[in-house]
Amino acid sequence: MRKPRALKHGDRIAIVAPASPFNREEFTRGVAEIERLGFVPVFDDSVFEKDSGYLAGAPEIRAAAFMRYWTDPDVSALLAVRGGYGSVQLLPLLDRSKVVAEPKLFIGYSDNTSLLSWLNCQCGITALHGPMIEGRLAGGAGYDRRSFLDLLSGGRQLQLAPEGLRVLREGEAVGPLYGGTITQLVASLGTPFAFDPPDGCILFLEEVNERPYRIDRMLTQLQLSGVLGRARAIVFGEMRGCDEPNGTVTALDAIARTTRACAVPIITGFPSGHTTGPIWTLPLGVEVRVSTQPQPTLLIEDAPVE
């Protein structure tokens, strides 16, 4: 994996909108939060474009902005405004050779899993599954500041043990971390941009507002495609809103059923992605250690930046 340069105080972070349009007031608050953290936010008017009511501008506009900032030597990282839908439309329009030649840090989650997976699996570049502008940086309290800043600046041996983690299967494993929102990972299969983590990986899988049978269906697809079989451990997110409303069937029920054949450590409830509280940042593409004893923990063995 190629690592982008670590960020330092005063570095420029480009704000891009690879997916859906956003709330302008939250955008302004998020920009102010980036400044408060000691970085310089940069963006241009294309970030405010809208197309079809659910896209932040035409794919060509969004892809051009992404490449413009990626190849700008004065920009150290790219940060997504929000998810929604549309990041997958950028993939055929991005210049992989230029992206690989100049590794930079990309930060996002949700629909932007399409970009995170592409950077990890097709470009061999590390990335951060972490807070975006809308609903996270815009709120200040919407993200875990320590994990975000430590990983931006090159933190390693960082122990992440948030409250609420549950152990579905005991054990310990080490491997490179890959994953994101399950819907986007599954949707990529069968395309030139397929989610393709290596054997011996640690999988991080999270989702929001999908009923248990849909969770079962997507995990079954990951199993049949061979992806689950490559994992040395699996870490699931909170799975917010994924239980049946009457509580008779839960996301955990679906996870337990579809991972019965996975003889690896499994932890659930890690608060990254679609969380009820602050989002914790995870480094994708670097070595992590999953432990279930004496308490469920992720130890970041390697830094995502250098």
What's the average model confidence in pLDDT over 212-225? 98
- State pLDDT tens for residues 223-280: 999 999 999 999 999 999 999 999 899 999 999 999 999 999 999 999 999 999 999 9
Tokens at 295, concatenated:
């308490």
What is the torsional sign of CA 213, 214, 218, 221? positive
Give the Cα separation of 302 and 286 in Å (integer).
6
Mean pLDDT of 165-187: 98
β-strand partners of 167: 267
Q: List pLDDT tens digits, range 92-124.
A: 999 999 999 999 999 999 999 999 999 999 999
Give the total residue count for the chain. 306
Angle at 231 between CA 163 and CA 161, to 5 degrees: 15
**Dist CA 99 CA 67 (whole Å):** 8
Residue carrying the six token digits 């992806």: 227
Shortest CA distance to 2 belongs to which of 102, 94, 124, 107? 124
Report all structural domains of the chain as residue ranges with CATH numbers, in order of start.
12-152 (3.40.50.10740), 158-300 (3.50.30.60)
- Tell me the C-alpha distance between 113 and 295, whole Å: 28
- Residue 177 and residue 2: Cα distance in Å, rounded? 14
